[in-house]
Amino acid sequence: MPVSTGFKVYNITFVVLFIIFAGLQYNDPDPYVWMPIYLLGAWICYQASKGQMNIRLYILGLSVYSLYAIYLLFDKTGVIDWASDHHAENIVQTMKAEKPWIEETREFGGLLILIVVFVINWMYLRRK
């Protein structure tokens, strides 16, 4: 199915970003978790840029990412803890996150970006 130029640019942009994000996980304590997460996002965006949609991959990605995001939101050192007990401390003050609530909040943000991109793609491609 043909897609608009804007939709292609949108998806190619996220392909590049998600590959960069995956590469930045190399020195992370758990790259074996985060590299595949971002690379799946890059693959889905690449497929979307060509007008292709693998419904099973979308369901898998959205399910896993949403469940993981909910976990990070409510975990004892998660996003709610960061916002309430740590007064929404700056999460970009240093790239080395030595505090678990900062690491989990950053991870939550990454998952949120992936989820939003997937939902936008799903809505666009389902309309076609």
DSSP-derived secondary structure letter, 99: S
When divided into structural domains, the chain yields a total of 1
Report the distance separating Cα 14 and Cα 99, nearest Å. 28
Q: What pTM did the predictor assign?
A: 0.84
Say what the pLDDT of residue 75 is: 78
pLDDT of residue 107: 82
- Residue closest to 105 by CA, chosen among 126, 74, 85, 78: 78
Can you give the residue range of the structural domain that contains 117?
Answer: 5-127
- Average of per-residue pLDDT values in the chain: 85
Q: What does the angle CA 119 – CA 111 – CA 121 come to, to the nearest 5 degrees? A: 20
pLDDT digits (tens, 9 = 90+) for 39-96: 999 999 999 999 999 999 999 999 999 999 988 878 767 666 655 655 555 555 555 5
Instruction: Indicate if the alpha-carbon torsion angle 48, 54, 57, 58 is positive or negative.
Output: positive
